[in-house]
Amino acid sequence: MLTWALIFLGVALVAAVFGFGGIASASAGIAQILFFIFIVLFVVALIARAVGGRAP
């Protein structure tokens, strides 16, 4: 589960670079939405890891 949390964080950071950095202005809106979605998934994965304990 921690692996998924780190993957979501990485995807969120990439989306942030494209969305907030102005690199791809045509898809900036989509990248900003993806950034927030993956940040939420990252937080959910961290909470699930903390509550669930060790992965099987």
Q: Domain extents for the chain? A: 2-51
pLDDT at 2: 79
Of residues 46, 27, 19, the one with CA closest to residue 11? 19
pLDDT tens, residue order, the chain (56 aa): 778 888 888 888 887 777 676 666 666 677 778 889 988 988 998 898 888 866 55
CB 42 within 8 A of CB 15: no
Give the separation between CA 7 and CA 32, rounded to whole angstroms. 17
pTM higher than 0.85, yes or no?
no
